[in-house]
Chain A
Amino acid sequence: MPGRAAIVGVGQTYHTSKRDDVNLPEMVGEAVRAALADAQLSIKDIEAFIFSNMEAFEGILLPEHGMIAEVGATGKPGLKVTGGGTTGSEAVGEGCHMISAGLYDITMVISWQKHDCGDATAGISAAAVPTFAKGMVTGAVSEFAKQALSYMKESGAREEHAAMVRLKADRGACRNPYSHLKLGLKSVDEVLQSPYLVWPIRLYDFCPQSCGACVLVLASEKRAKKIHKKPVWVADFEVVHQEPFRAGSFGDPTGTETYSQHVAIERLYKRNGITNVRKQVDLAEIYEPSSWEEISLYEHFHFCEKNEGWKLIEKGVTEIEGEFPVNPSGGVLATNPIGATPVIRIAEAALQIRGDASEHQATRDIKTAIATALGGPNWTAMFLLKRS
């Protein structure tokens, strides 16, 4: 990639269901200050800003109102990116594009969701175009339920395997100071006692709605090493579109396969000579809205053969101490401020490469990581991060 960009500053808020103590700009301001402190820069050093969230999920028009002043972006060049679940990755992509194009040396990506102002399912079912999910009061949950049913049928996985994914996520979340749900779960049985939302998706099989923000400072090759002693390089990325409805198109009735994931993976791996992911990449932070989706993504991202994803979780391969850690942060199952969720994946992967993930730092040395995102209308985003 011409003119690579590096991550030189990472900032997050803590995540929770309600932030009555701050308004939207104030909450975002916390993450901006944290990122600037990490990069040891002043807001005056930032040359351009990219703002990113999903407006319908908060139900607030122009949420950046008041935020521009709060974060110190007044009069600076910028963009606002609003997509589906991949919103945050698209914003990071834009920040990298600006740097690669030589327009700026330092950009800041600001992503957030303040879910105590609104409701994601309400946004999906009420505000989407009438042919997309209107009247479906189950929102995204029933889509993942259908996908889970198909996966169980095809692969022989059982509900216990989804429970193991939540246990792994919870162990990570309890060690991550920024994560939202810290359930302290002890056993598979405990997870299997949680009630069904939409059969066979249990309450503990699904992600929460969180309030929180995540901010990245990106810098050019020229500046990165001078700013941070451990810059993390965005070696490559790929963002691919598809279209509404995971299922019913491209011969895939239930959405166990997603066209955009296959395309994104093929391109990213081919360009970077990746033929054996688990050997050539050290860690993954993936976007798993449900525990079943995590198992499914292991296969889509070629961490294992088809229908063998559940064996990875059974053998503990993807645990923090494992051979190929996946989501040591606790992932989306624990923390989900939707607009910021993909940016947290990238931020957490970067912290792992730096060795700065504190309590939830993976046991093995992480030099290379992938961070992914997915979202309606079936976009897939994939980032490849490297230490050098």
Chain B
Amino acid sequence: MAEGSPTKKPEQPEYIRIKFDLPRPYHWSTGRYLGKLYAEAKENKRLMANRCPKCKEIRVHAPTPVCPKCKVDMGWDWVELPQTGTVFQYTYQVYPLWDPHEGRRCSNPHPPAIILLDNGVYLRHLLEETDTKKLKEGMRVQAVWEEDYDKRGQGFQDILYFRTIEE
């Protein structure tokens, strides 16, 4: 309490504010299976997934050495995913949450969506269209890649978002 005055408001605690604005690169081992996904995206702009030899389910998020359902070795059976699909579902951010990479409130204008790729596999990614009035389920979309080779190497994030296409 402040001295001598019982009616005076107690002092607010002092918060220490630290601003992070330096890049913080880190090392992360992808391993053999994820490495294939990362390398194909960076080198060839291809999105790869692996397939279980038993149940034939395609593992999109993300390739694994063992099928979680059948518990068998996946082997080395790769499928290239189509880069066009249909918006199965979308949502969009209204209130900005924390951007942990910048350490401040930040909004992502690109709506997160579930996209049904043309081979029947569901992929979770972002949409380019930020006007929520123009969003609808069933929209046809196509992947837009990061064109700068040096900026690629982020796996799924090498695709920036999916762009609405007319067919």
**A residues adjacent to B (C-beta < 8 A):** 20, 119, 121-123, 125-127, 129-131, 134-139, 141-142, 145-146, 149-150, 195-200, 203, 242-245, 247-250, 253-254
Q: How far is the CA of A196 from the CA of B106 in the complex (A)?
A: 16
B139-155 vs A, CB cutoff 8 Å, 1 = contact: the mask equals 00000000000000011
Q: How far is the CA of A142 from the CA of B126 in the complex (A)?
A: 12
Within 8 Å by CB of A141, from B28, B97, B99, B107, lies B97
List B contacts of A253 (CB < 8 A). 88-89, 114, 116, 122
**B residues adjacent to A (C-beta < 8 A):** 13, 28, 34, 60-62, 68-69, 88-89, 91-95, 97-101, 106-108, 112, 114, 116, 122-124, 132, 154-157
Instruction: Check if A131 sits within 8 Å of B100, measured CB to CB.
Output: no
Q: Given contacts A130-B28, A137-B98, are A149 and B89 in contact (CB under 8 A)?
A: yes
Q: How far is the CA of A89 from the CA of B93 in the complex (A)?
A: 31
Instruction: Check if A126 sits within 8 Å of B101, measured CB to CB.
Output: yes
Further pairs besides A119-B100, A138-B112: 20, Cβ < 8 Å: A20-B13, A121-B100, A123-B100, A126-B100, A127-B100, A130-B154, A134-B157, A135-B157, A137-B93, A137-B98, A138-B93, A142-B112, A146-B89, A197-B93, A197-B94, A198-B112, A199-B93, A199-B132, A203-B95, A253-B116
Within 8 Å by CB of A142, from B93, B100, B123, B155, lies B93
List A contacts of B89 (CB < 8 A). 146, 149-150, 253-254
Q: How far is the CA of A121 from the CA of B98 in the complex (A)?
A: 7
List A contacts of B95 (CB < 8 A). 195-198, 203
Q: What are 10 residue pairs bridging A and B, where the CB atoms are less than 8 Å apart in the complex?
A: A121-B100, A122-B98, A125-B101, A130-B155, A135-B101, A136-B112, A138-B112, A198-B95, A248-B124, A249-B61
Nearest chain B CB to A140's CB is how many angstroms away? 10
Q: How far is the CA of A135 from the CA of B69 in the complex (A)?
A: 28
List B contacts of A254 (CB < 8 A). 88-89, 114
Question: Chain A: interface secondary structure?
Answer: loop
List B contacts of A248 (CB < 8 A). 60-61, 114, 122-124
The residue among B62, B106, B107 with the most chain A CB atoms within 10 A of its own CB is B62
List A contacts of B68 (CB < 8 A). 242-243, 249
Instruction: Check if A125 sits within 8 Å of B154, measured CB to CB.
Output: no
Within 8 Å by CB of B92, from A121, A123, A199, A250, lies A199
Instruction: Check if B108 sits within 8 Å of A137, measured CB to CB.
Output: yes
Instruction: Check if A244 sits within 8 Å of B61, measured CB to CB.
Output: yes
The 6 closest A-B pairs by CB, nearest first: A126-B100, A122-B100, A196-B94, A145-B91, A253-B122, A131-B62
Instruction: Check if A137 sits within 8 Å of B124, measured CB to CB.
Output: no
Q: How far is the CA of A247 from the CA of B154 in the complex (A)?
A: 21
List B contacts of A137 (CB < 8 A). 93, 97-100, 106-108
Chain A residue nearest in CB terms to B88: A253
List A contacts of B97 (CB < 8 A). 121, 137-139, 141, 197
Nearest chain A CB to B146's CB is how many angstroms away? 12
Q: How far is the CA of A196 from the CA of B107 in the complex (A)?
A: 13
Q: Given contacts A137-B108, A146-B114, A245-B61, are A131 and B155 in contact (CB under 8 A)?
A: yes
Instruction: Check if B91 sits within 8 Å of A245, measured CB to CB.
Output: no
List A contacts of B155 (CB < 8 A). 130-131
Q: How far is the CA of A200 from the CA of B111 in the complex (A)?
A: 13
Within 8 Å by CB of A247, from B62, B108, B122, B157, lies B122
